[in-house]
Amino acid sequence: MPSDSFSSSSSGSKNQLFQTRSRTWTNTPNYRSVLRDNRPVNPYIDEKHGGSQITYAGGYDRNNSTGVVTTTVPAGLTYTNQNIIDGTSSGLVSADFVSIANATAAANLIQLLGKISDAKTNLAVTLAEAHKTSAMILGTAKRISDAYRSFRRGNFREVARQLDLPLGRVHKTWLAYKYGWTPLLMDVKSSAEFFAQQTLGGRPPRFSVQSTKVAQVKWASSGTYAAYGGGADGTYTKTLTGSYTNRMKVWIEVSNPNFSALQQLGLTNPLLVAWELVPFSFVFDWFCHVGNYLQGLTALNGLTIRRALQSNVNDLTFSYDQPTTIRVSGGHTYTNSHQHYDGKWRDYGRNFLSIDPLTMFPPVRTDLFNFQKLVTSLALLRAVSR
């Protein structure tokens, strides 16, 4: 397994600087001569670390009686050239970052399977709710007809009532639009796409799908330490900001076109049908990817994965700040100099991705709150309360 590394540093009266880079990869002999579908996904790691810190004297001891000042041996910080996430000196708890990375990767896998599934419509759910759809269409048509008659008579109050425009009834219009008309129109559009695809011969025999999820990282902590001269009155703050990016890509072959087509129509997943028919199941989906998870269980029906890879990018900035501390004790004044460190860490890793929908679990959503969910929540509360 080849690898290389680079490290450089310089020091001056004010700053110590360093920069390191290391790479590790795997080679396949005669890689370009291997058929594309048979090429392995070779692991590759590329790490870049950099940082700067203020050099300082560890402390000053002034005898207030004699005026004699004693300087301790310069200590310097211990953050240089180390992993800023789980390095012991940094004190950062890696479990927090690992939790973010795992949740992001799990959500991205669910999103990837949704793209692989390419579900055009859920015909089983559509048939099960046909009576509701018919009632919605007929009821809306009748209300529009009655509103038109009222408009011709000049009864604008009745027009507004028929169209659910008053503030006391607008929630009904929003819910009908959000969970009635929008899904219906999307089903019509997706069904048209499906039949147009079948007219052209169905899904391509081989295709690739990729998906990306980005999570923002923000972490901060503060604490005290035993400053020079005794006593835990020294303070420090640590911050970690940046992003974590997870990318997945798969190369797929259609092994059973008919089975794949049935999956696109939603006819191979009874669990998803049952979930969609549960009242207010969409509310659970606001907090957890239950519906998307169930859809992913049958995403590979009629398909064979030829190759799959996953890459992760951590792009982070770390800072440590320890302000000056002055302590008077026993006729002496003890001073700790200001200490500061800034570090940057970028790590790229690529590896083989193994996909088994049966080993997945519904990940918790990270986008829990937005304006549309707020409006829908208020409309639901209004409807239930009435």
Query: For residue range 201-228, what is the model confidence (pLDDT) as tens digits?
Result: 778 889 999 999 999 888 787 888 777 7
d(CA 118, CA 96) in angstroms, rounded, equals 34
Of the given ranges (28-37, 50-59, 215-224, 282-291), which has the lowest mean pLDDT? 50-59
What pLDDT is recorded for position 84? 46
In a domain, residue 103? The reply is yes
What pLDDT is recorded for position 247? 97
Let me know: does 208 contact 251? Beta carbons within 8 Å. yes
Local confidence band at 90 (pLDDT 50, 70, 90 cut-offs):
very low
In a domain, residue 183? The reply is no
d(CA 339, CA 90) in angstroms, rounded, equals 14
Task: Say how many C-beta atoms besides its own lie within 10 A of residue 182's C-beta.
Answer: 11
In a domain, residue 220? The reply is yes
Mean pLDDT of the chain: 76
Of the given ranges (133-147, 204-218, 358-372), which has the lowest mean pLDDT? 133-147
In a domain, residue 98? The reply is yes
DSSP 284-327: HHHHB-HHHHHHHTTTTTTEEEEEEEEEEEEEEEEEEEE--EEE
In a domain, residue 329? The reply is yes
In a domain, residue 320? The reply is yes
338 vs 141, residue with greater confidence: 338
Helix (H) or strand (E) holding 328: strand 325-329
What is the three-class DSSP state of 157? helix
Structural tokens at position 18: 């360093």
In a domain, residue 381? The reply is no
77: containing domain: 1-31+41-118+205-255+302-355
Tally the domains of the chain.
1
In a domain, residue 23? The reply is yes
